[in-house]
Chain A
Amino acid sequence: MTIFEYFITLMIILTINFFLPRLMPGDPFLHLSGEAGLEFVTFTAEQREYFIAHYGLDRPMSEQYFRYLSGLLRGDLGFSYYYKADVAAIILSRIPWTLLMVTAATFFSLLLGIFLGSFSAWRREAWQDKVTYLLIVIFSEIPVFLLGIMLLIVFAAGLGLFPLSGAITPFSGYTGFALTKDILHHAMLPVIALSLTRAGGIYLLVRNSLTTILAKDYMRTARAKGLSEGRIRYRHALKNAMLPLVTRVTMQLGGMVGGVVLVENIFAYPGLGRLMQEAVFVRDYPLLQGIFLVLAFSVLTANLLADLLYRFLDPRIREI
């Protein structure tokens, strides 16, 4: 994709971002005025009208849209109605947690998928392959929220091995190594849930591409050369299998983000996903737009990275 195509895609996403929240029934102040449940801040009709006018929500849609765009150009993501703070600042404070989830889950699902995928491919049609295949397919078919809840019930609530919610123990005052340990301890279950459900796709892809690759002429050449088994498998076969995998992983990133939203909510993990749910609940348009924008932007960036990485991995398209 050219830079121009990326730009067009971004513009479409921005537009959808803007209109989508506004298509939901209700407005921010209606919710703030009572139905949210937890917040009992009440607004009178006058106050509501005042705020609507104050935030410019009484203006025509087109005007609001252009104000939003020009704000973005200045790097201004808007002001959260609910948190009464800069959207950019709120998002920035939550991003690290989501980033931790996504990278850790991508890493572990890749590790698991590649390892089991190659294991199956080397033993294609043998019982080891069949058992692995069955287990992986079962795990990847369980919806991530169900798997999350199961993990919570068994390992957190039941066995008490992991905390039930959050990203760190509140008010513990941990620093340094103790803090890191605490963070990892909290992240463990959500990451496992995400990784397990994501590994299936990678496993199938690796298993299939490797099976195709094993029948290629160059694999016979490698075997004829009397190379070590490790070199044949990992240097000659797996490097070729990496090509479709890169595409797959980045294409999956959108799905991964969806999974993160669910998982963060189950484990009450303070990332963007949890923030998004809160923002949807209170119809905080600027915050929602901000979160969508960041997510869309990161997915697009990942695609761009994939293009570049593919070029690096596959010499055949380097010249194009």
Chain B
Amino acid sequence: MPALEVDSLHVKYHSASQPVQALADISFSLAPGETLGIIGESGSGKTTLALGLMGLLDNKTSVAGKVIYDGSELLSLDETKRKAYRWKRIAMVFQNSLEILNPVLNVQEQVGEPLVKHLGLKKLELENKINELLDLVGLERDWKTAFPHQLSGGMRQRVLLAMALACRPELLLVDEPTTSLDPIARREIIELLERLQKEYGFAMVLISHDLACVARLTRHLLVLYGGRIVEAGKTEILLEDPLHPYTRGLINASPNFFAFRDLWGIPGEPDGGNAAGCAFAPRCVQSLEQCRSEIPVLQLLSGGRKVACSQGGIMTLLEVKGVSKAYRLHNKTIQAVNSIDLEIRHGEVLGLLGETGSGKSTLAQILGRIIKPSAGQITFQGKPLNGELTRREKGVQLVMQDPFSSISHRFKVGQTLREPLEINKVGSEQERERRIIEALTRVQLPFDELFLNRYCYELSGGQRQRLAIARALVMKPALLLADEITSMLDPSSQANILRLLKGLQNLEGFAMLFITHSLDLARKVADRIMVMRHGSILEQGSTQRIFTRPCCCYTKDLLAAAFEHEHN
């Protein structure tokens, strides 16, 4: 039997000029001694949820639904009966702020008062218990008589923790325990929480932006957006393989989760969304008409995972099954690509890693329909890959390694960009002009008459590669195949182009197959990594997993060779 069961909890704030739906249809349960993380941006309703569980929402708030704790429904209890649960059974470590502790009462009194109230401790007993609690959280006893303003942020966090543990609660709600702490204090608090949770065995709900902290301390995870659960599941699996585009965005935006990756936030601000559709739709890379008109429900998928998305989570854009390509060289058959299965999902950057001759470029050319596979199937957006699908807008575009040969040097800049639009008969003349200028602006090239009339052979390598990217972008692709696009550039041009491309990818939300032999680049840019050798895929997984806990020997060798200098 679960200790805590939340059933269809709705919370609405009435204090603002127009009511705000802070939480909608929240349901979950938590077994005794279990740990649950809750993540989401500011304003997603995390703290409201904790306050709701404590029954601390004021009378300007309307609450509907059920919060069942140990068999009794808490929301319908009156204040007096609720006091029996508060702190003694359900306690909370509030988010650390200057005024979270009463400024005119000292540490001893604030830690001790629940002991007096709920356990009836007095004098010596009380003092011993307070000492014991301070020892437990690692705060020197001298601080007993200190006032809150005299404490550092880390010490205040310890006092909050000591206070919450005073009556040995069965359920502990912890709100942002690590924000505003320096790295050492942060580590100490996380270790403390981990140790105390194991020692005391309380169930814990951990609310945090800090994904590394959540990953370490919790077994289950809820992702909140706009007051709704958008994804739920086991923490480890969910962070390794997010299903909801929002979860993926959160992971990409977390610096401490995988430190090497470049930092990219989710574009846009949460605006509460429109009431009729998915709240995340305005910021979602794969949103469709349907997303703006119906609110997705949390669906149960295999493995106990849940996701609330009309498309069933991040959609698969391109699916490759058993694709092979063999060349005949004299009398030998060379298996360049050997029965490959892969998936590229909407809005993700899949890094394809491998040494020269591993078959990466062959694969890219098969996907770009430059060469035909000798076996296997490729589907794009659920349909067999064909020219009709890839050429059009929202199709597949390829940017190749060598900009000097991929763009004819006899073309003028304007002509290069106009060509795909003309071939595909996209838009009117003005529309095309607008798109060309937009694409050039996006890749930070000039777009005046003079530049448009320059011949491509006049451009530098960096400029030509930008032009190649611009040519791909005028068609607004859903998938961009980038095959070693920076390998011929100097480090500075490479850095500029990559930041540009990743920025565009983040903003426009297209998916990208990023082919490279450079582990450093892949580690910065990719969401997922695939390692390829001798035409086969050896390993795939999230970037943080591949780079921190590789499984395959070859990957380990590759990492060891590439990052030798980092370990010295």
A: which residues have CB within 8 A of B? 216-218, 220-228, 231, 235-236, 239-240, 243, 313-316
A217 lies within 8 A of B100 (CB): yes
A225 lies within 8 A of B117 (CB): yes
A316 to B99, CA, bound (A): 12
Binds A, one of B101-109, B316-324, B397-405: B101-109
A218 neighbours in B (Cβ, 8 Å): 99-103
B102 neighbours in A (Cβ, 8 Å): 218, 221-222, 236, 239-240
B113 lies within 8 A of A227 (CB): yes
Given A226-B118, A239-B105, verify A231-B113 contact (CB < 8 Å).
Answer: yes
Central interface residue in A220, A224, A240, by most chain B CB within 10 Å:
A224
A161 shortest CB reach to chain B, Å: 43
Chain A interface main SS type: helix
Binds A, one of B79-87, B210-218, B347-355, B509-517: B79-87
B104 lies within 8 A of A313 (CB): yes
* Interface residue B114 (Cβ < 8 Å from any Cβ of A): yes
A235 shortest CB reach to chain B, Å: 7
A239 neighbours in B (Cβ, 8 Å): 102, 104-105
A226 neighbours in B (Cβ, 8 Å): 82-88, 114, 117-118
A172 shortest CB reach to chain B, Å: 49
B86 neighbours in A (Cβ, 8 Å): 223-226
12 contacts between A and B (CB under 8 A): A218-B100, A218-B101, A220-B56, A223-B86, A224-B91, A225-B114, A225-B117, A231-B113, A235-B105, A236-B102, A239-B104, A314-B103
A231 lies within 8 A of B117 (CB): yes
List CB contacts (< 8 Å) of B60-101 with chain A. Answer: 82-88, 91-92, 94, 97, 99-101
A121 shortest CB reach to chain B, Å: 14
B103 lies within 8 A of A228 (CB): no
A318 shortest CB reach to chain B, Å: 8
* Interface residue B141 (Cβ < 8 Å from any Cβ of A): no
B56 lies within 8 A of A236 (CB): no
B94 shortest CB reach to chain A, Å: 6
A217 neighbours in B (Cβ, 8 Å): 94, 97, 99-100
A39 shortest CB reach to chain B, Å: 57
B97 lies within 8 A of A315 (CB): no
A221 neighbours in B (Cβ, 8 Å): 94, 100-102
* Interface residue B547 (Cβ < 8 Å from any Cβ of A): no
Closest chain B residue to A229, Cβ basis: B79
Size of interface on B: residues with Cβ below 8 Å to A = 30
Closest chain B residue to A318, Cβ basis: B147
A214 shortest CB reach to chain B, Å: 9
A122 shortest CB reach to chain B, Å: 12
* Interface residue B165 (Cβ < 8 Å from any Cβ of A): no
* Interface residue B122 (Cβ < 8 Å from any Cβ of A): no
A315 neighbours in B (Cβ, 8 Å): 103-104, 106, 147, 149-150
Known: A236-B102, A240-B104; 14 extra A-B contacts, CB below 8 A, are A217-B100, A218-B99, A218-B102, A221-B102, A224-B86, A224-B87, A226-B83, A226-B87, A227-B113, A231-B117, A240-B102, A315-B104, A315-B106, A316-B147
B99 neighbours in A (Cβ, 8 Å): 216-218
Closest chain B residue to A227, Cβ basis: B117
A114 shortest CB reach to chain B, Å: 16
B107 shortest CB reach to chain A, Å: 11
A243 neighbours in B (Cβ, 8 Å): 104
List CB contacts (< 8 Å) of B139-156 with chain A. Answer: 147, 149-150
* Interface residue B308 (Cβ < 8 Å from any Cβ of A): no
A225 to B54, CA, bound (A): 10
Which residue of A224, A227, A228, A236 contacts B94 across the interface (Cβ within 8 Å)? A224
A320 to B150, CA, bound (A): 13
Closest chain A residue to B50, Cβ basis: A224
A235 to B94, CA, bound (A): 20
A236 neighbours in B (Cβ, 8 Å): 102, 105
A14 to B541, CA, bound (A): 86
B83 neighbours in A (Cβ, 8 Å): 226
A-contact bits for B240-274, CB 8 A (1 contact / 0 none): 00000000000000000000000000000000000
A256 to B1, CA, bound (A): 67
B117 neighbours in A (Cβ, 8 Å): 225-228, 231
A227 neighbours in B (Cβ, 8 Å): 113-114, 117
A222 neighbours in B (Cβ, 8 Å): 102
B85 neighbours in A (Cβ, 8 Å): 226
B97 lies within 8 A of A224 (CB): no
B149 neighbours in A (Cβ, 8 Å): 315-316
A316 lies within 8 A of B103 (CB): yes
B160 shortest CB reach to chain A, Å: 8
A240 neighbours in B (Cβ, 8 Å): 102-104
A231 neighbours in B (Cβ, 8 Å): 113, 117
A313 to B149, CA, bound (A): 14
B106 neighbours in A (Cβ, 8 Å): 315
A316 to B88, CA, bound (A): 31
List CB contacts (< 8 Å) of B403-431 with chain A. Answer: none
Closest chain A residue to B89, Cβ basis: A226
A231 to B114, CA, bound (A): 11
B142 shortest CB reach to chain A, Å: 16
A315 to B88, CA, bound (A): 29
Closest chain A residue to B88, Cβ basis: A226
B222 shortest CB reach to chain A, Å: 21
A224 lies within 8 A of B113 (CB): no
State the 9 A-B residue pairs at the shortest beta-carbon distance, nearest first: A226-B86, A315-B147, A226-B83, A218-B102, A226-B87, A217-B99, A217-B100, A225-B87, A225-B114
Closest chain A residue to B101, Cβ basis: A218
A216 neighbours in B (Cβ, 8 Å): 99
B91 neighbours in A (Cβ, 8 Å): 224
A2 to B87, CA, bound (A): 46
B88 neighbours in A (Cβ, 8 Å): 226
A217 to B88, CA, bound (A): 20
B100 lies within 8 A of A224 (CB): no
